[in-house]
Amino acid sequence: MFNKVVMLGNLTRDCVLRYLPQGGAVCTTGIATNRKFKKQDGTQGEEVCFVDLTFFGRSAEIANQYLGRGKQVFVEGRLKLDQWTDQQGIKRSKHSITVETLQMLDRKGQPEGEKHESGEAPDIDINDDEIPF
């Protein structure tokens, strides 16, 4: 089987970092992508897709440090279906992406060239070993 998702979009909220009982970092945020198209009547239409993102390990800490609401990112990862029962007993589900590769972009869609506190833009590459499942 093959499960690969590639998305380019803007983060919808600031990252939330937490640590698992075993000490591994987990960071969550969301991404929005849009698609413009011409409708049958000739008018412009727009479709927006919102998906949650999850980072693990060192990449979670880097995402938390450098990313925030509105930042443009290019991510690759695995699509995951999350299912739960809400407080009213209704079964719910949503898709999320477990991020394996992250590229931070500037507003023109190019890799960021600005220097960060360390003097260099972080090199982010997530190993499968860092993902706890």
Please write the tens of the pLDDT for every residue from 89-129. Answer: 999 999 999 999 988 886 554 555 544 444 444 455 555 55
Give CA separation, 36 vs 40, 49, 97, 102, 123, in Å: 13, 12, 23, 24, 32
What is residue 129's predicted lDDT score, i.e. its pLDDT? Answer: 55
Query: Given this model, what pLDDT does residue 108 score?
Result: 55
Superfamily of domain 5-126: Nucleic acid-binding proteins (2.40.50.140)
Using an 8 Å Cβ cutoff, are 30 and 14 in contact?
no
Please give the pLDDT value at position 118.
43
What single DSSP character describes residue 87?
T
Within 10 angstroms of residue 3's Cβ, the number of other Cβ atoms is: 9
Q: To the nearest whole number, what is the mean pLDDT of the chain?
A: 83
Q: Are 75 and 102 in contact (CB under 8 A)?
A: yes
The per-residue pLDDT for 104 is 86
- The whole-number average pLDDT for the span 38-64 is 91
> How far apart, in whole angstroms, are the C-alpha atoms of residue 77 and residue 18?
20
Cβ contact 82:38 at 8 Å: no
122: which residues sit within 8 A by CB, 6+ positions away? Answer: 62, 66, 104, 116
pLDDT tens by residue, 16-50: 999 999 889 999 999 999 988 888 898 998 999 99
Please classify residue 29 by burial: count the beta carbons closer than 10 Å to its beta carbon, then call 0-12 exposed, 13-18 middle and 19+ buried.
Answer: buried
- Mean predicted confidence (pLDDT) in 47-60: 93
| Token pair in block for residue 87 | 């407080």
